[in-house]
């Protein structure tokens, strides 16, 4: 699939011309860094890669002090996102210290602590002017995405050539194009663990709740209790939801959501396996808002398992259909899950006849929210992101981490991945561990 997709994009369609180049210039001193690279399905490796240098005038080079793994990285791990190439450096959530700035960067200086947005935005196009950074028109050269969607998202760090081919943040150094807009300065009084997830998870979850219009008194159902879903549960309550029902099958995730005040619904339990019927029993007439924070690559039913295995569909619509069926008439369904292609059997009839507002939230515009979240929620202590950090590992363990994260070993949620430039763990946050030891103390 990757070979065919790359051939179509590179040889038949030709990349779209954009003013930023994704490849970086190497330093003349031949310095290398540790980085995680993709080499095939379920095959990621730590490599020695050249340290990036200033390549265009508005670049910033960041020395990474914290990075992580995201549920959407598993789509890359399993080869489900097209136009991956061997040696691509992965990772789209990271923070660090400014090491070098290009001559056009005037708002940052070496030594400043910064968080990077997962998207690369130009700061100048009509979307960037509204801070809708995920829809930037000038940073993604993917002709294949243009052909599939009619338009293109912004470029993303470390997420294949379908999103521009920018080397990612699961590395010791990252070149950040348009660094003047894609990096957020961080107050020294905050630890890395408190702010690193402003890169993606926190704005993404906030966007899901805000964009779908959760309001005072709403009853909300949330599918998928990974880090995004866990944050969505908490944002929904902060925005006034009177009741949140959290749907998953992993006991540790259900428990974590329950601690935040949500009502857990375990779809692996035979008494609640019919999610739609269970929700209508709990909320006669249906919930006000349904939020899809799950995954498209794990079909539940035999029909979609077969279709996916035969490549008759790329994505699975089961959660979308459950959400459409579970909301009240004229209810709202928000999709923040990272669907990427095509799904068969979407219940269009119920969507239309019930008057359901189906909202594709899109990739979250980090620039629209990150200052608000930092100043109004994190600094005052209204939202503490460290609740979701379950483990801390070294960058060299990334290959083992991908495998463990995929299997949800040891109740893993969010992992702080340190580099040789990281400081000590924040008090109250996990200390350094080895992936191979996870779960042994509980055995």
What separation in angstroms does the CA of 62 have from each of 22, 54, 265, 384?
A: 16, 11, 42, 25
Q: Which residues of the chain have pLDDT under 50?
A: 443
pLDDT of residue 30: 83
Q: What is the pLDDT of residue 443?
A: 45
CB atoms within 10 A of CB 146: 16
Helices (H) and strands (E) in the chain, counts: 14, 20
As a whole number of angstroms, the distance between CA 239 and CA 211 comes to 12
Cα–Cα distance measured from residue 203 to residue 270, given in angstroms and rounded to the nearest whole number: 35
- What's the CA gap between 318 and 324, in Å, rounded? 10
Q: Tell me the residue ranges of DSSP E strands in 386-431.
A: 389-394, 414-418
Let me know: does 286 contact 246? Beta carbons within 8 Å: no
Q: How far apart are CA 156 and CA 387, in angstroms?
A: 26
Question: What backbone torsions phi and psi does residue 242 show, to the nearest 5 degrees?
Answer: -85, -20
CA distance 357 to 268: 28
> Measured in whole angstroms, how far is the alpha carbon of residue 24 from the centre of its chain?
23
Q: Could you give the CA distance from residue 121 to residue 365 in angstroms, rounded to a whole number? A: 10
Q: Mapping DSSP to helix (H, G, I), strand (E, B) and coil, where does residue 327 land?
A: strand
Q: How many residues does the chain have?
A: 443
Residue 184 in tokens:
């957020």
Q: Which two tokens stand for residue 326?
A: 């579970």
Cα-based distances in Å from 51 to 46, 115, 145, 441? 14, 19, 29, 38
Give the separation between CA 370 and CA 332, rounded to whole angstroms: 25
Residue 36 contacts residue 90 (beta carbons within 8 Å): yes
In this prediction, residue 440 carries a pLDDT of 80
CA distance 46 to 399: 7
Asked if 31 and 51 count as a contact pair (C-beta separation under 8 A), the reply is yes
Cα–Cα distance measured from residue 426 to residue 63, given in angstroms and rounded to the nearest whole number: 19
Task: Sort strands 389-394 and 414-418 into parallel, antiparallel or unpaired.
Answer: parallel
Q: Is 150 exposed, middle or buried (0-12, 13-18, 19+ CB in 10 A)?
A: exposed
Residue 299: what pLDDT? 85
Q: Which two tokens stand for residue 325?
A: 């069926």
Let me know: does 21 contact 55? Beta carbons within 8 Å: yes
**Which neighbouring-strand residues pair with 246?**
222, 264
Q: Kindly state the tokens that stand for 63.
A: 């020395």
Q: Which contacts qualify for 380-386: CB closer than 8 Å, 24 or more apart?
A: 382/238, 383/202, 383/234, 383/235, 383/238, 384/194, 385/193, 385/194, 385/195, 385/197, 385/201, 385/202, 385/231, 386/193, 386/194, 386/426, 386/428, 386/429
């Amino acid at each position: 699939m990757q070979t065919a997709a790359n051939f179509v994009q590179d040889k038949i369609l030709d990349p779209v011309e954009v003013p930023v180049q994704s490849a970086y210039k190497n330093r003349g001193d031949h310095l290398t860094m540790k980085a995680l690279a993709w080499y095939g399905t379920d095959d990621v490796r730590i490599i020695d890669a050249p340290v990036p240098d200033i390549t265009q005038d508005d670049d910033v080079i960041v020395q990474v002090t914290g990075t992580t793994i995201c549920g959407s990285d598993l789509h890359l791990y399993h080869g489900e996102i097209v136009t991956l190439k061997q040696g691509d450096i992965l990772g789209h959530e990271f923070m660090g210290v400014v090491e070098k700035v290009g001559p056009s960067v005037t708002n940052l200086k070496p030594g400043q602590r910064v968080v990077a947005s997962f998207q690369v935005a130009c700061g100048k196009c009509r979307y960037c002017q509204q801070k809708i950074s995920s829809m930037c028109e000038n940073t993604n050269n993917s002709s294949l995405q243009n052909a599939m969607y009619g338009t293109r998202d912004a470029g993303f760090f470390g997420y294949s050539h379908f999103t521009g081919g920018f080397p990612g943040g699961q590395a010791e150094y990252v070149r950040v194009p348009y660094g003047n807009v894609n990096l957020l300065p961080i107050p020294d009084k905050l630890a890395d663990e408190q702010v690193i997830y402003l890169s993606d998870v926190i704005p993404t979850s906030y966007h899901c709740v805000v964009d779908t219009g959760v309001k005072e008194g709403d009853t909300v159902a949330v599918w998928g209790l990974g880090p995004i879903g866990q944050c969505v549960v908490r944002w929904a309550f902060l925005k006034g939801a009177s009741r949140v029902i959290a749907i998953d099958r992993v006991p540790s995730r259900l428990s974590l959501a329950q601690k935040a005040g949500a009502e857990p619904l375990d779809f692996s339990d035979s008494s609640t396996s019919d999610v739609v019927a269970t929700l209508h029993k709990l909320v006669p007439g249906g919930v006000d808002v349904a939020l899809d924070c799950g995954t498209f690559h794990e079909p539940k039913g035999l029909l979609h398992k077969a279709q996916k295995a035969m490549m008759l569909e790329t994505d699975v619509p089961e959660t979308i259909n459950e959400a459409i069926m579970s909301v009240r008439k004229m209810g709202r369904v928000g999709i923040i899950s990272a669907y990427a292609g095509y799904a068969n059997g979407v219940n269009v009839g119920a969507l239309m006849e019930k008057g359901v507002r189906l909202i594709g939230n899109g990739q979250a515009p980090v620039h629209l929210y990150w200052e608000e979240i930092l100043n109004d929620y994190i600094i005052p202590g209204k939202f503490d992101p460290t609740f979701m950090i379950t483990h801390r590992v070294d960058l060299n363990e990334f290959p083992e981490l991908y495998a463990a994260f995929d299997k949800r070993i040891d109740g893993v949620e969010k992992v702080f991945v340190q580099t040789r430039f990281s400081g000590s763990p924040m008090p109250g946050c996990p200390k350094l561990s080895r992936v191979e030891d996870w779960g042994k103390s509980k055995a």
